[in-house]
Structure 1
Amino acid sequence: MKIPKTPWTMLYKVKKATFPEVRFYLDEWRRKAINIPNSELRAQAVTSLKEKAFHCDGGAVYGLLAGNERQKVIQFIVAYQTISDYLDNLCDRSTSLKEEDFRALHQSMFHALTPGAKPENYYHLRADQDDGGYLASLVLTCQEILQQLPGFPNCQDALHQLAGYYCDLQVFKHVEKSKRVELLKNWHEQHKHELPPMTWYEFSACAGSTLGIFCLIAYASRSELTKKEFDVLKNGYFPWVQGLHILLDYFIDQEEDRIGGDLNFIFYYDNEEQMVERFKFIKEKAEESIRTLPDWRFHQLINKGLIAIYLADKKVQQDKGLRKTAKRFIRFGGLPTAFFYFNSWMYRETV
Structure 2
Amino acid sequence: MTAVYRKIFPAVNAELNFWQKRAGAIPNEELRQQALASIESKRFHCLGGAVYALLSGFRWREAITFIVAYQTISDYLDNLCDRSTSLDPDDFQQLHEAMSDALSRQNPIQNYYALRDEQSDGEYLADLVRTCQRTMRRLDAYDVIGGHVLELERLYSDLQVHKHVKQEERISRLINWYKEEADDSSLFWYEFSAAAGSTLGIFCLVSYALNGMSAELADKIIESYFPFVQGLHILLDYYIDQEEDRVEGDLNFCSYYDNPELMQKRFMYFIEQADHQVQQLPDRRFHEMVHHGLVGLYLGDPKTKKLDGGMTITDNLLQISGYKARFFHWNTKLYHRMTKTRN
For 2:335 and 2:127, the matched residues in 1 are separated by 29
Letter aligned with residue 30 of structure 1: Q
Contact 2:301–2:333 (Cα < 8 Å) also in 1: no
User: Secondary structure of 2:112's match?
Assistant: coil
Change (3 A) 1:47 1:290: same
Q: CA deviation at 1:319?
A: 4.7
Mapped partners of 1:123, 1:65: distance in 2: 35
Aligned residue among 140, 143, 146 for 1:153: 143
CA distance in structure 2 between the partners assigned to 1:116 and 1:272 by the alignment = 47
The separation in 2 between residues aligned to 1:281 and 1:273, in whole angstroms, is 12
Distance 1:92 1:17 in 2: 33
* Alignment correspondent of 1:269: 257
Mapped pair 1:208 → 2:197: yes
Alignment of 1:133-152 (within 5 A): 133-152=123-142
Correspondence for 1:221: 210
Asked if 1:89 is matched to 2:79, the reply is yes
Q: How many residues align?
A: 339
- Whichever residue aligns with residue 32 of structure 1, its letter is R
Q: Distance in 2 between matches of 1:95 and 1:240?
A: 34
The amino acid across from 1:106 in the alignment is H
- Residue 231 of structure 1: aligned partner: 219
Any unmatched runs of 5+ in structure 2?
Answer: none
Is the CA contact (8 Å cut-off) linking 2:295 and 2:321 kept in structure 1?
Answer: yes
1:8-87 residue pairs with structure 2 within 5 A? 11-87=1-77
Distance in 2, Cα, partners of 1:139 & 1:273: 43
Give the distance between the partners of 1:12 and 1:316, measured in 2 at CA.
28
The one-character-per-residue Cα deviations of 1:219-270 (angstroms, maximum 9, x if unpaired) are: 10111x3333211111110010000000000000000111111111111111
Cα distance in structure 2, aligned partners of 1:143 and 1:241: 26
Aligned match of 2:237: 249
3-state secondary structure, aligned to 2:53: helix
Question: For residue 329 of structure 1, what is the aligned residue in structure 2?
Answer: 317
Asked whether the equivalents of residues 52 and 204 of structure 2 are also in contact (C-alpha less than 8 Å), the reply is: yes
Would you say the 8 A contact 2:302–2:333 is kept in 1? no
| 1:89 partner letter | N
How far residue 346 of structure 1 moved from its aligned partner, in angstroms, is 7.0
Q: Write the letter of the residue equivalent to 2:102.
A: A
1:310 is aligned, of 269, 286, 298, to 298
CA contact (8 A) 1:151 1:219 kept: no
Conserved? CA contact 1:169–1:207, under 8 Å = yes
Q: Which has the higher contact order (CA 8 A, sep 6+)?
A: 1
What is the SS of the residue equivalent to 2:96?
helix
Identity within the alignment, % = 48
- 1:195 CA displacement: 2.5
Q: TM-score, normalised by structure 2?
A: 0.95
Give the structure 2 partner of residue 198 of structure 1. 187
Alpha-carbon offset, residue 98 of structure 1: 1.1
- Cα shift readout 1:58-81 (whole Å, capped 9, x = no counterpart): 000001111100000011000000
Residue 165 (structure 1) aligned with residue 163 (structure 2): no
